Structure 1
């Protein structure tokens, strides 16, 4: 499936799973109806607790990203592309607010912040 768990991440393991599955949906790598590994199989593959994978799947189901069918497994739910985009934009806005607040604490002007953003954006394009 391609999920990679980082022991150095500040995010708990279940959150890392959630984030990576969402990313795969956003990028179109996982599409509506695609089957996910069983909770036990994913736990075995990642060498983590079944409880951790169960928690990740439950959260994904609550958020509408997956559907679980008793006896059949878990599948990627149909996604409304506009709703997904709105969710991502909200997350971006929250991160930007954090950056703005930090910039103000460090007395970084909006022009300096803009220059940083432009530079990083271009560097990312070059990768």
Structure 2
């Protein structure tokens, strides 16, 4: 199974962190349900054209955080994540994305009021699309 993970070479974010963040998002959004098998470290490294060390680090971090579990001789699987942790992860992910967007706008010399106005416009567009 090929995972929908995209590595951005131009990003300052380390590749293992990009993999980890995207896998975590797939898990908490329900796209990868508990018990779902994941590709081996080697297969994922090949699919993403990165090193085995990089994918191993992402898997290790996800396992330590309780998002995946590895069973010797069977493989790596999505772990059962409790609802509170899912909600916290989703909120944290969105907050970080918003902080990044705000930092970008501030670097481009937009005022807080201008940023609020842009945010309101985008929300209105999304509301019309829904």
TM-score range, shorter chain: 0.7 to 0.9
Is residue 62 of structure 2 the alignment partner of residue 68 of structure 1? no
For 1:55-97, what per-residue CA distance to the aligned partner results, in whole angstroms no more than 9, with x for missing partners? 0000101111001111111110001122211233244445656
Match of 2:40 among 38, 41, 47: 38
Asked if the contact 2:28/2:90 (under 8 Å) is kept, the reply is: no
Stretch moving more, 17-26 or 89-98 = 89-98
CA distance in 2, matches of 1:56, 1:94: 19
CA RMSD of aligned residues (A): 2.6
Task: Name the counterpart of 1:11.
Answer: 13
**Secondary structure of 2:91's partner?**
helix
Listed as ranges, the gaps of 5+ residues in structure 1 are none
**Secondary structure of 1:6's partner?**
coil
**Secondary structure of 1:58's partner?**
helix
**Secondary structure of 2:9's partner?**
coil
CA distance in 2, matches of 1:38, 1:8: 26
Listed as ranges, the gaps of 5+ residues in structure 2 are none
Q: TM-score if structure 2 supplies the norm length?
A: 0.78
Aligned length: 124
Q: TM-score if structure 1 supplies the norm length?
A: 0.80
